[in-house]
Amino acid sequence: MPRGSKTKYTAEQKRKAQHIEDSYEKKGVSKDEAEARAWATVNKQSGGGERAGGSGRKKPASAKSADRKESARRAVASRKGNSRSSKASRETQTVDSLRKEARAKDIPGRSSMRKQELIEALRKAS
């Protein structure tokens, strides 16, 4: 369950959070988890509550807009089934999965490469 009072949020933010929460619940996420994710998304996109005294006053409109666009891009990518191809996501993969990815890209010498070498070779091949 999210902490804190929601009185600092605008009606639009509350509607958005409810809509996101309903979407997560339809996907089978628990009520508490869905609510927490919904408010986290609203906070990320709009910088928190907008009324006087809220933390959202510190985040400029351009940053809010950029966060909304980035969130939308990630949503589209996940619907298409694309993984996030960041350096961090490759760092968390096993050597075996990196080798499979290298094999799919036909990178020579992949069987004798260490993890960092595989990551570097995959980055160059992308």
Find how far residue 92's CA is from the centre of its chain. 16
Does residue 121 carry a pLDDT above 70? yes
Model-wide pTM > 0.85? no
Pair of tokens at residue 3 = 């902490």
pLDDT one-digit tens code per residue, 13-51: 899 999 999 999 999 989 999 999 998 888 888 777 665
User: What value does the mean pLDDT take over residues 82-106?
Assistant: 79
% residues pLDDT > 70 (the chain)? 83
Does residue 116 carry a pLDDT above 80? yes
Of 24, 51, 26, the residue nearest 40 (C-alpha):
24
Under the banding of pLDDT at 50, 70 and 90, the label for residue 3 is: low
Distance CA 74, CA 88 (A): 15
Does residue 9 carry a pLDDT above 60? yes
Under the banding of pLDDT at 50, 70 and 90, the label for residue 84 is: low
Name the residue ranges covered by the structural domains of the chain. 11-80, 87-125
Burial label, 102 (beta-carbon count in 10 A; 0-12, 13-18, 19+): buried
